[in-house]
Structure formats: C-alpha cells, structure tokens
Amino acid sequence: MTPERIHAGGNVSTVRHFVLLGFSDLPELQGFLSGVFTIIYLVVLIGNSLIITITILHPALQRPMYFFLANFSSLEICYVSVTLPRILFNLWTQNRNISVLGCATQLCFFLMLGTAECFLLAVMSYDRYVAICHPLRYPLLMNPKKCAQLATGSWMGPVPVQIGQTCQIFSLHFCKSNQIAHFFCDIPPILKLACGDTSAQEVSAYLLTMLVGAVPFMLIFASYSKIVSTILRLPTAQGRAKAFSTCSSHLLVVVLFFGSVSITYFRPKSSHSAGTDTLLSLFSTVVTPMFNPFIYSLRNKAVIVALRKLFFKNTVP
C-alpha cells in the first residue's frame, strides 16, 4: 500500500493517514480472530460491569476496598475499549486506515488510562496497608471524602502529562511510511515512521514511562513490605490467612499488570520484532484485563456472595 502524503512545508511531506497492519499477515484467521476478540471483549464488559453493579447494590461491599475495585473495573472497561473495538472494526471491514488525529486520540487515551491503572493499583495497595497495619485509624484515614480524592487523582492525574507527551510525538513529521506494524497506535511503532532524529522523543517517552510506572510500583512494594511484616507478627495462623486473603487478589493483579507491561516495553531492543511486540502487547492490553474480573470474584468470598445474591435472590450468605 502506497503511503498517502500531504505537503507540510518546504521539501518535507507527511502522511495523511496511517494503516494498522496488525493481524493482516493472517488472512486465513480473520474470522477466527474476530470471534475470539469478540468473546474477550464481551467477557471484559460483562465481568467488570457485574463487579461495578454488586459494589453499588450490595450493602456488605460499601467499603473503600470495593469502591476502589469498582473504579478499577471501570478503568479496565475504558482501557480495553481503546483498542479492542478498533481491532474488531479492522477485522470485520478489512479497512485498516486510521487518521492521524484518530491515531493520536487512541494513543493519548491508551497512555492516560494505562497510567491511571498504575496510580489506582498504588492507591488500592495503600488502602490494604492502612486496613491491615492501622486498623483502628482506618475509618478516619480512608473516609469517603479521602477515597473520592484518591480515585479522582488516579483518573485525572495522568491527563495533562499524557496529553503533553502525545502532542510531542505527533508534532513530528511522518514521511517514511504510513504503515504501523501493530494493531493499535503505540509509541514505539509510531516513532519508527518519523522523519529525522527521534532520540529526544524516545528518551522522553522512556523516562516518562519509567516515572509513571516505577513510582506507583515502589509505593506498592513499600505498602506490601509493611503488610507482610504486620501479617507475620499476627499471633494466629487463622488471622494471618484472613489478613493475607484480603490483599492476595490485588497482589496477583499487580504482578500480572506490571509484569506484562515491563516485558512489553522494557526488554532489550535486540529482542524486539513485529510479531513478538504484537503478542506481548496483546497479552498486556487485552488478555490480562480479561483475567481480572475472575481473579477478584473467584478469590473474594464477599464478591462471590454478592454475585449469588444478585442472580439468586434466595441465596443465604
């Protein structure tokens, strides 16, 4: 496919639109992939919507822990909706064109929501830290106003930063090609299409990604260090098991999220290839969010009881 360009001043040209090449090299699997991604999207939507519903309706879940869980489920729906509908559109129509503005918008929301997940996971770990390490002060420290402020900060904090990063990237001219070797607009494949030296943008993107990823991760690590220390000092095995069960689901989600993102974006450049990058990105952006509703529902007795009461009104907890 020949890149379409428009004049951008002087002898510099830039592309009119991009072409998302993801999965185009598998023509015989287009129908199968369409079915798989449709099922995954429905699972993400239904699973997370159920969690949001029961945290609103069930009296036993009117606590900060489940307030943040509802926010996390809302984030997951938004995060997956940035990429999956576009994948399905490409597979259904075989029209892989996306405008430069559409690409910039997709990248901006992907970065904002991914960063918001990092922040919210850190907030959720802080909630567990206060609940386990300072139980007597928990109602005071995690009052409704403070919870709302923490959730709002997680959602809104990344907005100005990631808008700025997106503007920086799309201020470049793209004249090498208009074909993005990926299934969505992500920073590395976009920078490969830019004219001239992009080292400043690469360093900036790397440092910012490290900052928005490493700071929340260090806060989570510090919280769980305190949590584990406190749990180990509990006098009974039953008390230790109960305390650990309240944060095991969150810890598993943290490992999946930060582990998949780290492997995707921070592995050596020598191991990068279009196929590997696509598979790893698919796992971190699509597959992992599909697991999260199951992790929180199957490993949390209160959530299981609430789901039973939602579907079977006569079920006794």
CA 3 and chain centroid, separation:
31
Residue 316: pLDDT band with limits 50, 70, 90: very low
Query: Is 86 in contact with 285 (CB distance < 8 Å)?
Result: no
Q: How far apart are CA 30 and CA 27, in angstroms?
A: 6
The predicted structure's pLDDT at residue 8? 43
User: Percentage of the chain surpassing pLDDT 90?
Assistant: 46
Question: What tens digit of pLDDT does each residue of 119-135 get?
Answer: 999 999 999 999 999 99
Q: In terms of DSSP bridges, do strands 17-20 and 97-99 run parallel, antiparallel, or are they unpaired?
A: antiparallel
pLDDT tens digit string along 64-102? 999 999 999 999 999 999 999 999 999 999 899 999 999
Question: Do 212 and 36 contact (CB within 8 A), yes or no?
Answer: no
Instruction: State whether residue 21 is helix, strand or coil.
Output: coil
Give the Å distances, CA to CA, from 307 to 120, 298, 304. 24, 11, 5
Q: How many CA atoms are closer than 13 Å to the CA of 202, on its beta-carbon side?
A: 14
Rounded to 5°, angle at Cα 31 from 185 and 187:
10
pLDDT at 157: 93
pLDDT digits (tens, 9 = 90+) for 26-55: 888 889 999 999 999 999 999 999 999 999
- Residue 187 to residue 102: CA distance in whole angstroms: 14
CA atoms within 13 A on the CB side of 285: 31
How far apart (Å, rounded) are the C-alpha atoms in residues 33 and 39?
10
Specify the pTM: 0.88
**Is residue 138 predicted with pLDDT exceeding 70?**
yes
CATH class of 17-310: mainly alpha
In the chain, the amino acid numbered 286 is V
Is residue 267 a contact partner of residue 276, using CB atoms and an 8 Å limit?
Answer: no
Please, are residues 107 and 101 in contact by the beta-carbon 8 Å criterion? no
Q: State yes or no: pLDDT of 315 exceeds 60.
A: no
